[in-house]
Structure 1
C-alpha cells in the first residue's frame, strides 16, 4: 500500500506542485492539504482517491503560487506638462535645469493602469481549477500504479510463504501419522498412574480418560483446515484486486490451526514443526499488511 508521486505544473500566472503518498492502513483514510479557495479541487481529490484506492493512509498535498501580473504603465501627460512648466520657471530663476529622470520620478507622472478582469477572471479561475484537477488525477493514477507494481512483487513473496506453510503442513501430517506410538507410550504411563491411585478408578473412568486422550491428540482436522486455508489464499492472490482484508482474516485462521496443532502435539518433532509453522504464518501476516 505504499507509494509516492509528485509533479509540478503551471497555468498562466499560477504554478503548483502536487504530491501524493500512501502508507499501510486497515482502511482508507484520505487527508488533503490544499490552499484555501480550492474546495472544488479538494472535493475531487477525495472522491478520486476513494475511486482508485481501497486501503491505506493517503496524503494529498497541493502548494500553489500565483505570479503577480505586470500591469501596463501610462504617462500622465497633463501632470508632466505642469512639472515641465514649473521646471522652466525654476531654471529662469537661475537654478540648474532638472534632468528628465528626475521629472519622471515625480509621483503620478508614471501611472499603473488597473485592468477590470470581469468575466475573464472567472474564466481564468475555472481554467486553473480544471488544470489542477487534471494534475491531481494524474498523480493519483501514478500512485495507484506504484502500489500495483509493489503488489505484484509482494504476491510472489506471499506465494513463497504459502509454499513453506504447505510443506510444513505435509511434514506435520507425516509426523502425526507416527504419533500413535508416542501416544501409546504416554497413555500407558498415565494409565499406570491411574491404576496406582487410591482408591482405584473404575474401568469406565479409565476408558473415558483413554478416549479423551486419543481425541485430544488427533490433529487431522487441523491439517485439513490448514490445507483449505492454503488453497483459499492462493485463490485470492490469483484473483487480484483489493484482497488484503480477506488475507488478513485468513492469517487469523492459520494461526488458530497452528496453535491447536502445537497444543495437541504429543511428539517433540510435531511441536517443532508447529512452531516453524507459526513463524512462517507470522511472516506471511506481516507482508499481508502491505496488501490493498
Structure 2
C-alpha cells in the first residue's frame, strides 16, 4: 500500500530530516538510506517498521547534518614532516650536482604537504543521538501508518463496489444457466435424433451414459456456488481490521479460476458474455487488492 510521512528534528549539535514512503508489494521489503556512522540505527528502525507494517516496498531516508563548527585539534605529524624535509634535501643536492639552482621552500609549502598537519575530529555522541532519532522515528511511523490507513479506507469503498459487481454478475450467470437448461435439452434431443437416425443397434445404456457426461461437463452450478461463497468471504475480509491483503490476493486467484471454468463450460453466448465480464471485474479488483496491507 502506498503511504508517505516526513519530519525534521534537531539535537546533539545536529539537525536532520526524515522521509518514509512506500509503494505496492506482494511482501514486505525495507530499504534504508541512513548515515553509516550511527551504529545500530538501522536495526532499531527495522524492528519498529516490521512491528507495524506487513506488506509493501518501504524506503526510509534520513539526512543528518552537524550544527557545530569544525572544532578539531590540529597536530604536527613529526615523522611525516621529517620525511618531507629529507626528500627536499635530496632533491636540492641532486639539483645542485646538475648545476640547477632551486628557490628555497618556506614553511607554508612544507605544512601543505599531505600528512604533515593532521586534524583530530571530536567524536559525536552517537548513542544519545541514536536514541533521539529512534524515538522520533516511532512517532513518524504512526503518521505513516495513518496515511496508509486513510488510503485503505478509500480502497475499501472501491473493492466493496467491485464485490457487489461480482455478486450481481454471479446472479445473472445463475439465471442464465437455469434458462439454458431447456435450450440445452432441445439441442441434445436434436443431436441425438440425428445420430440415432443414421446408426442401427444403438445401446440405450451407452446413449444415457454419453448424455450424462455431456450434462456434467456443461453444468456450472458448482462454479456459481463457489463464486457466491467467495463473495461472502471477500466481504468478510474487507470488513476485518488488520492485514488482509495476502488473504484477498489468494482469494482473487480462486475467483479467477471459477470465472475461467464458467466460460469454458458455458456453451451459451449470453452466459459466456457474463463470464467474460466477471473476469474483467475480477482483474480490476485484483489490481486494487495489491494496494492493501
TM over 0.5: yes
Partner of 1:103: none
Partner of 2:18: 18
Query: How far apart, CA to CA, are the structure 1 residues paired with 2:176 and 2:49?
Result: 50
CA deviations on 1:70-117 (whole Å, 9 max, x unpaired) are 76xxxxxxxxxxxxxxxxxxxxxxxxxxxxxxxxxxxxxxxxxx9997
Query: How far apart, CA to CA, are the structure 2 residues paired with 1:286 and 1:197?
Result: 54
Partner of 1:243: 244
Residues 197 and 61 of structure 1: CA distance in aligned 2, closer, same or farther (over 3 Å): farther
Q: Is the 8 A contact 1:182 1:267 kept in 2?
A: no
Query: How far apart, CA to CA, are the structure 1 residues paired with 2:186 and 2:228?
Result: 29
- Worse overlay, 193-202 or 34-43: 193-202
- Worse overlay, 238-247 or 204-213: 204-213
Partner of 1:37: 37
- After TM superposition, the structure 1 = structure 2 runs for residues 126-275 of structure 1, keeping only pairs within 5 Å, are 126-195=127-196, 201-275=202-276
Query: How far apart, CA to CA, are the structure 1 residues paired with 2:62 and 2:210?
Result: 71
Deviation at 1:256, TM superposition (A): 1.1
Deviation at 1:21, TM superposition (A): 0.7
Partner of 2:288: 287
Taking structure 1 as the reference length, the TM-score comes to 0.78
Query: How far apart, CA to CA, are the structure 2 residues paired with 1:135 and 1:69?
Result: 25
Query: How far apart, CA to CA, are the structure 2 residues paired with 1:268 and 1:30?
Result: 49
**Cα RMSD, aligned residues only:** 2.2
CA deviations on 1:202-254 (whole Å, 9 max, x unpaired) are 32222111111111222111111111111111111111210001001111111
Query: How far apart, CA to CA, are the structure 1 residues paired with 2:205 and 2:59?
Result: 68
Partner of 1:57: 57
Unaligned runs of 5+ in 2: 72-118
Query: How far apart, CA to CA, are the structure 2 residues paired with 1:207 and 1:198?
Result: 16
Unaligned runs of 5+ in 1: 72-113
Taking structure 2 as the reference length, the TM-score comes to 0.78
Deviation at 1:163, TM superposition (A): 0.5
Partner of 1:78: none
Residues 197 and 51 of structure 1: CA distance in aligned 2, closer, same or farther (over 3 Å): farther
Query: How far apart, CA to CA, are the structure 1 residues paired with 2:225 and 2:137?
Result: 49
Moved >6 Å (runs of 4+): 114-117
Q: Is the 8 A contact 2:2 2:23 kept in 1?
A: yes
